[in-house]
Amino acid sequence: MEENKNTYMEESLWEVEHFLTQESINLELLSKEQIDNMAYHYYKNYYYYEMDNEYALRAAVSVVLDENDIVIEGFELWIP
């Protein structure tokens, strides 16, 4: 079971990094911990709450940005 979770977390991290790049968010603005936290939120949103992929990503990124008082010009927060 732990191996599956690790695989899902790796996929979640890839999805988040890909989403940030698509949204033109510079990864250097965020710490590794913040990106990992986004991946964790995405994992929960997508696999547990069965949210749509796009909404799961946008919500995960939005929550972490909001928690850390980070404003990214052009990125609209979406907090469910």
Please state the φ and ψ torsions of residue 45, each to the nearest 5 degrees: -60, -45
Q: Flag whether pLDDT at 6 surpasses 70.
A: yes
Kindly state the percentage of the chain with pLDDT values over 70: 95
pLDDT band at 33 (very low <50, low <70, confident <90, very high): very high
